[in-house]
Amino acid sequence: MSSFQSYRVNFRKSGQTIVVEEWFTINLAARKLGIDLPTDCCHGICGTCEVLTEQQGLVRACMTLVNEDLDVDG
């Protein structure tokens, strides 16, 4: 039985929303919906995957864990 908390991620550009467990990154949530966010290094170094969220400001989608409901401009 999973003890992870679940949160909603709303991708504003596509109008799609997904509910994921807290260990998901924003990038992984996007991929589950078929949304292709720009990425390069996938380690949070290059900044290619930066997206703006209403709740946390500018973050790197490849490294930012979903630990609250998020509205993403991506």
**How much is the average pLDDT of 40-61?**
93
pTM over 0.75: yes
The domains located in the chain, with CATH, are 6-72 (3.10.20.740)
State yes or no: pLDDT of 2 exceeds 90: no
Distance CA 43, CA 71 (A): 22
Share of the chain above pLDDT 70, in %: 97
pLDDT at 65: 96
- Summarised one tens digit per residue, pLDDT across range 8-21 is 999 999 999 999 99
Cα torsion through 29, 30, 31, 33, rounded to 10:
90
